[in-house]
Amino acid sequence: MDTDKIRNFAIIAHIDHGKSTLADRIMEICGALPEKHEAQILDSLELEREHGITIKLKAVRLKYKDYQLNLLDTPGHVDFSYEVSRSLASVEGAVLVVDATQGVQAQTLSNFNLAVNANLTLIPVINKIDMPAADVARTTAELLDLGFKEDEIIKISAKTGENVVRLLDEIIAKIPPPKQLDDKLSGLIFDSSLDPYKGVVATIRIFGGSLRAEDEVLFMATKAKGQILQTGFLTPKPDYAQGLQSGEVGFIVTNIKDLALVKVGDTIAHPKEIVKPLPGYQEARPVVFLSFFPIDSSDFPKMKEAFEKLKLNDAALSYSIESSVSLGQGLRVGFLGLLHSQITQERLEREYGLNIVLTSPSVNFIVDGEVINKPSDFNPSVSAQVLEPYARVTIFAPQKYYGQISDLIYKKRGMIEHLESIGTSQKIEAIVPLLEILIGFYDDLKSQTSGYASFDFEVMDYRPAKLVKLDILINFEPVEGLTQIIPSEKAEELGRKLVEKLKEVIPRQNIPIPVQAVINFTKIKGGAGGKILARETIPAYRKDVTAKLYGGDVTRKIKLLEKQKKGKKRMKRFGNVDIPQEAFLAILKI
């Protein structure tokens, strides 16, 4: 097809602003969907439908009038913003969707900035104008503050289809057609997966030249060579074609069996041609680390195999093997955020039938030049230089909540750098330690602002910090999965809250179980050394050993009770305590 008749665009927005619903309406108008179909058809994962979010980007080719439209539906949650960066590197324009009932939100601004930095043509859209709570005038004013003109803004209802046809006409009129860089093949890989029967399947955008089945190709970053078995595109069902040409978006099936050789963000070329690697792709970097341990230690090979399979469809996952005295063999896994880790845990449990114990989340720390992300390895000397990562946080909220938000930022060891009014809302930029953002910040922000605030963050740099390792001892034994690295000034407060929470979630045993929060922990004969910050005791429940007695001398009852008493002493010395998963999750709720 003539490249002048091709339009490549992404739909970007804050979470739950109607991206996937708008994609449905566009596909309906273009005749790509049957009359009866599921809502949010591009959200094919079960977890996407349950959580009401898009996790994986989707690239669909549509026909509208005599034009070819390549639509990329992207995630809205901050944890999956790396998926957005892939999309924006592969298109010439973007539709920026804003919910009329919520207005401009934090991720709206983040995606707006990504699109502006990528020099994309932006079409502003106000969605959900049919909702009773819609405030179109306020949302319009907020978009004007971002630099848009009023006649550029299209007001639609993705649910009813109102004005979606006008939006399609604007996409054709305003978004420029793709330009061919060269006659030589150059294509950007922005998604990949492994078909066990064929090989690696990569979603690509062709920037120069053309590609056909049976062509030999080179993956420039890994220097791997392979052959193209098939080419095609999604409509949204797979539709195979003879080839892909410059300006088009589609998929290729290769004969390569190792997904590690086909990296997302890599440039594909013909082996005998010299081309420059394509720019514009942002590599996914893990910012939070958790350890995964199977409850049944014999399930470790199964869990490791499950992670290997998940990584085939999630390039952002990174993991390494680790061992724990108390929890056995497990994996230390890096994620883009806590939602990313939650989605991964749910997939492990549902798709692979695994029962998992997660440890407390942590981030990268630098101790005397060495990077540490595992709390049990954090043992700095008194003179050591400790650095922790900081992030720039952008918060959107109604202006009346400024006091509550500033108090929260102060409690999280942060500092407000910039304040700006956007309509009736405000944009607050602050610098906050990354550790404080990952644990409890989102819940606290929502509760302080009655659910009206949204936030986005970007990791910046490392700064000096005063941190300590907080160990939790249960029955005088440290539980490695509950160890945390925390600010020294918050150690006593967090330690007290945590032991109180653990007292609630750990079931009672036949003996009293002490729960202690300790810093500077050292193992000594007959117990533990260190500074004990807090202690709670889980009371014992008493088994009625005399229930089987139906009469006789009272001395029989006394003998049984004495026997029980001696048995409890042995349990206290040698017994193990069963710790449920709720105890490890309690860290996220303090």
Judge whether 330 and 300 are in contact, CB under 8 Å: yes
Quick one: CATH architecture of 186-269?
Answer: Beta Barrel (2.40)
Q: What does the chain come to in residues?
A: 590
Residue 395 CB neighbours (<10 A): 25
Helices (H), 41-147: 46-51, 81-88, 106-117, 136-145
Judge whether 581 and 589 are in contact, CB under 8 Å: no
Identical topology for domains 186-269 and 386-464: no
Judge whether 464 and 385 are in contact, CB under 8 Å: yes
User: Which DSSP helix (H) or strand (E) runs through 59?
Assistant: strand 58-64
Closest Cα to residue 464, out of 366, 341, 569, 568? 366
Strand 121-127 relative to strand 93-99: parallel, antiparallel, unpaired?
A: parallel
**Which two structure tokens, joined as six digits, stand for 434?**
């990354």
Residue 561, φ and ψ in degrees, nearest 5: -65, -40
Judge whether 303 and 291 are in contact, CB under 8 Å: no
Residue 171, φ and ψ in degrees, nearest 5: -60, -45
Tell me which residue has tokens 């994962």: 45
Closest Cα to residue 268, out of 327, 205, 322? 205
| DSSP reduced 3-state for 183 | coil
**Which two structure tokens, joined as six digits, stand for 552?**
């006789």
Please provide the CATH number assigned to the domain covering 468-589.
3.30.70.2570
How wide is the angle at C-alpha 83 spanned by C-alphas 82 and 87, nearest 5°?
115
Residue 153 CB neighbours (<10 A): 18
Tell me which residue has tokens 């390549």: 70
Please provide the CATH number assigned to the domain covering 288-361.
3.30.70.870
| DSSP reduced 3-state for 191 | strand
**In sequence order, which residues have a C-beta less than 8 Å from that of residue 50 and are 6 or more positions away?**
none
Strand 318-324 relative to strand 249-254: parallel, antiparallel, unpaired?
A: unpaired
Closest Cα to residue 372, out of 383, 382, 362? 362
| pLDDT in the model for residue 97 | 93
> Angle at which helices 19-29 and 164-174 pack, to 10 degrees?
90
Measured CA to CA, the distance from residue 266 to residue 277 in angstroms comes to: 8
| pLDDT in the model for residue 494 | 87
Q: What is the pTM of this model?
A: 0.69
The domains of the chain are located at: 3-174, 186-269, 288-361, 386-464, 468-589
Measured CA to CA, the distance from residue 295 to residue 300 in angstroms comes to: 9
The DSSP output letter for 277 is P
Quick one: CATH architecture of 3-174?
Answer: 3-Layer(aba) Sandwich (3.40)
Tell me which residue has tokens 């918050």: 490
Fold topology of 386-464: Alpha-Beta Plaits (3.30.70)
Closest Cα to residue 191, out of 233, 226, 229? 233
* pLDDT values of the chain reduced to their tens digit, one per residue, 590 residues: 688 999 999 888 887 788 888 988 998 899 877 665 555 444 444 443 344 444 456 788 999 989 999 998 776 445 455 567 767 888 999 999 999 998 888 778 778 888 888 899 999 999 999 999 999 999 999 899 888 999 999 999 999 999 999 999 999 999 999 987 778 899 988 878 778 788 888 889 999 999 998 999 999 888 899 999 999 998 888 889 989 999 999 999 999 988 778 877 788 999 988 888 887 555 667 778 888 888 788 889 999 988 887 876 676 778 888 887 667 788 888 887 777 787 888 888 888 888 887 777 788 899 888 888 888 788 887 778 989 999 999 888 888 889 999 999 999 999 999 998 877 778 899 999 988 887 778 778 878 887 777 777 888 889 998 988 888 888 888 887 788 888 888 889 888 988 998 888 887 877 788 988 888 776 655 555 678 888 999 888 766 656 666 666 767 777 777 776 665 554 433 346 667 666 666 666 66
The DSSP output letter for 283 is P
How wide is the angle at C-alpha 554 spanned by C-alphas 551 and 556, nearest 5°?
85
* Peptide bond just before 238 cis, omega within 30 deg: no
Closest Cα to residue 302, out of 353, 357, 359? 353
